[in-house]
Structure 1
């Protein structure tokens, strides 16, 4: 076989570009609910056979996250037995079926436009199906990118996956805005402690069709991703792990050039010779650090803001909430680029620590805005922007970088699956509890108590996250994936 003597960055970037489309779908699928959830709530409030409560809506809005937990949990099995490439194609199929099913959950079994408990279950089934795709993509996309990228570009290229996630969220904010057009979100009126009704003045188009188009729009991107991922090569580290050394050398040569590829392949083979290593072969600390990185990424509360952004901005009485949501998406994109272009210069730890501090300041700013009477609405809006922007240059991309690179080769697929599963478990906990917590009453403050409590809690968690990174997370800048074996084996001996 003739191997390229020189590597090609065009080749590398083209296959990474396809892989990050999985990240774009990840962002699209998780954020589409932000524009659709009010129409969805109004639709199911019309059900005659059950009462659609605040809690049920919180679970329905977050049901995709149950699928994310499942997808992440099985991602290690899929990545190990089907390979990274085929697993991503399977994720694309799940995305596609979910988009169509969420658009038309009545398919075969229910009357169109008639809300029932059975239809709600069917809708949640399709959302969970899409969640499985997200769970698979969230674990395997950064893993695939990390395994094809040279060590000096790995942090940057994996960070592009986070950029794609945020870009996917921004795209869907625009799509939701365009779909809504001249129509308006329904007006939901509270009629009891946990009961709501739709105001007679509400736009019926949004209730009947708007949310459907928002969910269905994902099918276009999902179909494109599924086709393109079939054209990329398998990860060279997976090929080496499954004794397909010639194919691994071919992929590595296209990326790095033949001589460098031989050197990298030799390093890979030296760390995968023992294929039967147990999950805790490198000690419990590596698993603990990976899991807690995932836990903190969600426990800081960012997805509660992303999923319910229009509702939050609406409560602040400052202009069009959909426009403000788009502005927040643009801010998020901009600050994600800060991480993309600085992660290899500044390192992983400094970005995480400073991001945690910035998030804490933003969260405490929102909390205080609900205590001080007469404060200008711009203050909590800016505080949320600071909170979100700080996440985007730190925990958003850097957590994925570390999870993709921190584990040794022989346990990577298993360890990544566990870490990402914990991420989605806490994503579900945070997202499903946010609305009830945000609407809590107490201390004579009305629902401002819930607003204050939610963000004060997230701010405290941000401070703890900064301490955790400073004390326990190793810096991985400039290290190869094979270096992780020695890093953790030596650390375990201390």
Structure 2
């Protein structure tokens, strides 16, 4: 077989594996963010009717909003739980099997959502959202690991960023399915909430045909033959000896060590600023308010002065913006670099938050200001997709070794989901109480994030783990003995965790 044919076969297998894993993985996160917007009024009415029928209580508007906010935001607490169990699951079951087992949470949640209306139980919707959140939390951590460990070096950045592309595609898909003409009507909202089972079925039917992560098979399981077979399936008939040698070298370096626990990373001076960077950037991804726009798009567009009958169609444009931007980010990241894309995205988001605030201030005085407000929302989301949406999920793979990576993803995922819960809970109240100043807090987060990236995050594009670690040691060991720094850096590269108490 010619090299061209082999490379084409390899690329096709890899792309199909990416699609299979992502359609039941990060696509679910975006999809479940988006589908909650369309049935807002219908579920709020359902909550009111349930209280009237059970306890003969007529809820006040703020009480309905509170229950609705709990339904929306409990998804994030489920995601936090999923992020916490994702690390141990990947170590015990492997990356691929973990994604397949994850569908148990999805299918159970979908069944509860579909039957909640017949059972006249809004509590079933809450439990469903928790389980769907667990599913999303696991997939958001496991999928980037699976991709980063399965892709060849020259495609690793693009393949890892496909997680963000599928997330944004899930948002668009959820917004389209949520149209009143499809499943977003009063009679079909329960089927809309349960429609996330379909991508899960597709993954269950297709992912078993693809191999486990070659690095997991060799480094964690010590199965060289299975690793070689996985590489053959993913790369084609010919395996480059350099790639296998790299994995074998990583196995030698990790020999005799075990995967790090999350709390061990907090006490390990050699990864202190890597951990701080991952936590700050993962938190900023949610504190910037972008994903909450999908939860509460109706609130935002009403505040911007958009007519009610136009909102559902305009909302699709927000998802399309992020989807387009993530594809552009995928194309640009290897040429522009991670640091440039992150910092540029947050700076642009700050600018649009300021313009949006000005537009809301003058919306009652100038007739075309609502359209400027709408434009600002689109450009805000576009800027998010160009940088933070794609780059944030790649960083733990590039900043941490194989042994520390699951723990790093657990911490990063926990920060992301915890902050999404906080913002999800307060977002509708920010919009209603701050009015035209509702985006000021988000703009502040964006400018502070841009400053952090500019001051503390080194560029990781095209660099080895050793080179990236050397950059961070200037911060990790600032003011400490150079001999201790060199020794701990060497130990870290060999996979030996040295607690700070040993220094």
Distance 1:249 1:65 in 2: 39
Report the counterpart of residue 420 of structure 1 in structure 2: 413
Q: How much has 1:271 moved relative to structure 2?
A: 3.5
Query: Is contact 1:271–1:410 with CA below 8 Å preserved after alignment?
Result: no
Report the counterpart of residue 331 of structure 2 in structure 1: 341
* 1:44-443 mapped onto 2 (5 Å cutoff): 44-46=47-49, 47-48=51-52, 49=55, 51=59, 52-105=63-116, 112=118, 114=120, 119-177=121-179, 180-181=180-181, 206=186, 209-239=187-217, 240-256=219-235, 257-276=239-258, 278-279=264-265, 280-281=267-268, 282-319=270-307, 320-372=310-362, 373-375=364-366, 376-440=369-433
- Aligned-partner SS, 1:283: helix
**Greater mean alpha carbon deviation, residues 8-17 or residues 351-360:** 8-17
Q: CA RMSD in A?
A: 2.3
Q: How much has 1:294 moved relative to structure 2?
A: 0.6
Number of aligned residue pairs: give it. Answer: 448
* 1:21-36 mapped onto 2 (5 Å cutoff): 21=23, 22-36=25-39
Query: Is contact 1:102–1:215 with CA below 8 Å preserved after alignment?
Result: yes
- Aligned-partner SS, 2:116: coil
| Structure 1 residues 211 and 483: CA distance shift in structure 2, 3 A | farther
Q: How much has 1:325 moved relative to structure 2?
A: 0.6
Distance 1:346 1:147 in 2: 23
Q: How much has 1:371 moved relative to structure 2?
A: 1.9
Q: When the two structures are superposed, what TM-score results if normalisation uses the length of structure 1?
A: 0.85
Q: How much has 1:182 moved relative to structure 2?
A: 8.9
| Structure 1 residues 227 and 481: CA distance shift in structure 2, 3 A | farther
Query: Is contact 2:300–2:431 with CA below 8 Å preserved after alignment?
Result: no
Distance 1:302 1:238 in 2: 34
Q: How much has 1:481 moved relative to structure 2?
A: 5.6
Q: When the two structures are superposed, what TM-score results if normalisation uses the length of structure 2?
A: 0.84
| Structure 1 residues 248 and 484: CA distance shift in structure 2, 3 A | farther
Structure number with the higher helix fraction is 2
Q: How much has 1:274 moved relative to structure 2?
A: 4.1
Q: How much has 1:155 moved relative to structure 2?
A: 1.4
Distance 1:113 1:174 in 2: 27
Report the counterpart of residue 191 of structure 1 in structure 2: none
| Structure 1 residues 489 and 76: CA distance shift in structure 2, 3 A | farther
| Structure 1 residues 104 and 44: CA distance shift in structure 2, 3 A | same
Query: Is contact 1:100–1:216 with CA below 8 Å preserved after alignment?
Result: yes
Q: How much has 1:430 moved relative to structure 2?
A: 0.6
Distance 1:16 1:421 in 2: 24
Query: Is contact 2:116–2:190 with CA below 8 Å preserved after alignment?
Result: no
| Structure 1 residues 316 and 426: CA distance shift in structure 2, 3 A | same
| Structure 1 residues 420 and 224: CA distance shift in structure 2, 3 A | same
| Structure 1 residues 489 and 11: CA distance shift in structure 2, 3 A | farther
1:296-341 CA-partner distances (Å, limit 9, x unpaired) = 1111111121211133223333340011011222222111111010
Distance 2:96 2:475 in 1: 33
| Structure 1 residues 154 and 481: CA distance shift in structure 2, 3 A | farther
Q: Unaligned stretches of 5+ in structure 2?
A: 479-503
* 1:10-21 mapped onto 2 (5 Å cutoff): 10-21=12-23
